[in-house]
Structure 1
Amino acid sequence: MNWQELSATSHYKTAIAIHHELQQGHQEEANKGLQALINALSRSEKRVLKSQLIRLMKHIIKWQTQPDYRTRSWIASIHNARVEIKDIQEETPSLSNKIIEQLWNDCLASAIVEAEDEMRQDTKIEALSWQAIFEHSYCLNEKT
C-alpha cells in the first residue's frame, strides 16, 4: 500500500484502509498508515495556519496602507484570523509560535502581493512586527 499517496489524496480513505489492515491483523502495515496519516494531517493544519497568517497580514497591510478605507469588516477579519490561529495552535500544539516565526517571511511576501492586488496599488510595507500582527488593537478612530 502506498500510504504517502493515499494520505495525500484522502484522509478518510486512509483511515478506512488503516481500519481494514487492523481487521486483517496487519499491525505493522496499519502503523505505517497511521504515521502517513498523522504526517498528512500535520501538513494540512500547517497549510491552514499559513493561510490564516497570510489573511491576517494582508488585512494589516491594507490597514496601514489605506487608512481612509478602513472598515469594520477589516477589523473583523483581523480578529477572526487571530482567533483561528489561536484555535489551530490549541488543537495542534506542534504549530507553535516558533513555527509561525519560520513561516513569517514567506507569509509576509504572499500577503504583500495579495494586499497590493486587492488595493490596486503598491505598498511601502516591507516588514510587520509580532506586536502589529498579534497584539495591537485595531479600531476605526485610530489615526495611524
Structure 2
Amino acid sequence: MKIAIGNDHAGTDYKFAIVNFLQEQGHTIVNYGTDTLDSVDYPDFVHPVATDVENGNVDLGIIICGSGNGVAITANKHQKVRAALCWIKEIAELARQHNNANVISIPARYTSIPQAIEMVRIFISTPFEGGRHENRVNKIPIKC
C-alpha cells in the first residue's frame, strides 16, 4: 500500500515511529511532514497529503498535529478526502468501516506512540463495510 504522511512539530516523533512500522510491513511511504521539532504551520504539510489522496496518488493518508483538529480541518477542505480524527483504536476502526475514511488524523498530545501505531495498523487493515454506510457516505457533498 502507498501511504502519504504529514505532520507538524508536535507529530515528528510519532511520524518517525509510524513510518518505521509501516515500512517494516512493506508499505511505501510518501513523507510530507517536518522532520524537526521547530514550530511550523501544519497546513503546509497537510495539503500535499490531502492532494495525493484526492488525486489517487496514494491509497491512504496519515496526518498528525498536537490536537489532530487543525490537520483534520485542513484535509477535509479537499474534495474526496474524508479525514477522521481518531484517539482510540475503536474510532479508527469505525472510521474505516462506517465512514470510509481515507485519512487518519492523530492527536499527538493526547495519544501515546504505541496507541498511534495501533490505530494506524487498524485503520489501514480495516475495509469499508459498504451497505447502509455507503448510502450515508454518498450523501456527504463534494461541493456545497
Does the TM-score normalized on the shorter chain lie above 0.5?
Answer: no
Q: Which has the higher strand share?
A: 2
Q: Which has the higher helix share?
A: 1
TM-score per shorter chain, which class?
under 0.3
TM-score w.r.t. length of structure 1: 0.25
TM-score w.r.t. length of structure 2: 0.25
Which of the pair has more CA radius of gyration? 1
